[in-house]
Structure 1
Amino acid sequence: MASIYQQVLGNDFQKLHPRIQQRFGFNSKDRVASIGYGVMERIWYSKWALLPLYLGTLRNIMFPQGGEQVPFTIGNYAYVDSFGRETVTWSRKFKFPRAIRCFDATMIYSQARDRIVDYLGSKQHLAVDLQISAQENGGIKIRSGEQRFYEGGIKFKFPSLLTGIADVCEWYDDEESTYKISVEVNNPILGTIFRYSGRFQARFEEMDDVAIPLDVKPLREERRE
């Protein structure tokens, strides 16, 4: 069975660096996880976005804190959710001197939308369409698209002018033998909201369903995509 990233990239998946293929090529049946440890060389946020970023900390979506040389971990686990969808976790932790900030997401492949949908936060109340592409350096680029909010009976699509467009680039640097990542979130009118960049090493662990840590799974799963 192909991973969710192989499904959307098709033949372009082979354009990725072998180390990137390894990180994005496993699925729930492979029973492995990618655990990354590294340092974010710089994390920055815009002061005007203080309030929305602070609200994001309540559900593990970004945060209003910056710094340099911040220890970082990322856990990517593949499992089948309660709705039978192939799912990959993105459990990120940033270890500041006085706080650990979390930025969590779960990604699924949506057959109905024919793309990957990214559920941000701990309760999957924010669903984001993703555009995935292979880069010339063998890296993978993930760009956010339409964003939809779900909470109980409430459902609406965010106007594009009120959203942050995220660009995530991950690649492998052969000269330095390390994974590198850059993330930047921009608003169409107000500019950059949040960004970070750094490097990490990843190890691949054998897993089974009961061994997937509960803290990387969302507290609530949303059927709507």
Structure 2
Amino acid sequence: MSRGSIFRRVMGAEFGRLHPELRRRFSVGLESGEACTGTGVMDRIWHGRRVVRPFLALGATRNILVPRQGRDVPFVIENVPYADSFGRETVSFVRTFHLPDGPRRFDAQMVTAPEGDRILDYLGTHQHLASDLHLTAGAGGELVIRSGEHRFREGPVDVRVPAVIGGDAEVRESFDEDTGRFLIRVRVVNRYVGPLFGYEGSFTAEYADVSRRGVRPGLRPVREEARA
């Protein structure tokens, strides 16, 4: 029996409630042999109050979040499956925002959590941050992703990120049949400070054979983290 992508395995029967185009997009994996590249425009990239800017700037040094605002920003997302150095099936979520002062990246690599009930999202170039992601299908066939616990790992340090400095993320992705485009909205909020960062826009998707295309240099993180 086919096990399917990491997203199908985590969502189970609920995966079938997604719009067919979303089912295909989130079927990328080693079994399907496909990668997906989304190309489009973010209508708006925003960040919260002045107090959050140092936090965003620090994260940007490791390709986590984007400390800039903008409108009508060209955007690319690369979802490429590969086996990481620990043998886990991994799917990249590398987003590049082409802002006027140069490109900014927001990197994530996703694997299935050991329990199989959620996605484990490693953030940044060195995977110092790991977040639990919970996936559900919305009433209209959209994909809804909400973050859970966040953990920080560096050498012997392995700690839960407290809520006072963490962020709760919600991602909503749908497909517009009239335009043939995927619609994306991302919002990250701190429960004490308020909104931290987000973006919204649309893109089209192209699929490619992973065995031919491979994983381009620079897509994988500099350091990979084994701890879940």
Report TM bin, short chain.
over 0.9
CA RMSD of aligned residues (A): 1.3
Q: Which amino acid in 1 is paired with 2:39? A: Y
Residue equivalent to 2:211: 208
| 1:117 counterpart SS class | strand
Q: Equivalents in 2 of 1:151, 1:43: separation in Å?
A: 30
Does the Cα contact within 8 Å between 1:44 and 1:65 map onto a contact in 2? Answer: yes
Give 2:97's match in structure 1, choosing from 87, 94, 97.
94
Does the Cα contact within 8 Å between 2:4 and 2:32 map onto a contact in 1? Answer: no
Does the Cα contact within 8 Å between 1:79 and 1:209 map onto a contact in 2? Answer: no
| 1:59 counterpart SS class | coil
Question: Matches of residues 84-123 of structure 1 in structure 2 within 5 Å?
Answer: 84-112=87-115, 114-123=117-126
Structure 1 residue runs without a partner (length 5+): none
Q: Equivalents in 2 of 1:113, 1:134: separation in Å?
A: 17
Give 2:7's match in structure 1, choosing from 5, 12, 15.
5
- The TM-score normalised by the length of structure 1 is 0.97
Does the Cα contact within 8 Å between 2:15 and 2:23 map onto a contact in 1? Answer: yes
Deviations 1:118-139 (A, max 9, x none): 0000111101011110011111
- The TM-score normalised by the length of structure 2 is 0.95
Equivalent residues, number: 225
Q: Equivalents in 2 of 1:116, 1:29: separation in Å?
A: 17
Residue equivalent to 1:41: 43
Does the Cα contact within 8 Å between 1:187 and 1:193 map onto a contact in 2? Answer: yes
- Alpha-carbon distance, 1:38 to partner: 0.2
Structure 2 residue runs without a partner (length 5+): none
Give 1:220's match in structure 2, choosing from 213, 219, 223.
223
Q: Which amino acid in 2 is paired with 1:19? A: E
Percent identity between the aligned chains?
41
Deviations 1:72-116 (A, max 9, x none): 000000111111111110010000112100000000001246321
Residue equivalent to 2:21: 19
Q: Which amino acid in 1 is paired with 2:6? A: I
Residue equivalent to 1:126: 129
Question: Matches of residues 149-188 of structure 1 in structure 2 within 5 Å?
Answer: 149-188=152-191
Does the Cα contact within 8 Å between 2:43 and 2:71 map onto a contact in 1? Answer: yes
| 2:25 counterpart SS class | helix
Q: 1:111 to 1:217 in 2, by over 3 A?
A: same
| 2:98 counterpart SS class | strand
Q: 1:209 to 1:111 in 2, by over 3 A?
A: farther
Deviating above 4 A after TM superposition, structure 1's stretches of 4 or more consecutive aligned residues are none
Q: Equivalents in 1 of 2:216, 2:174: separation in Å?
A: 26
- Alpha-carbon distance, 1:209 to partner: 7.8
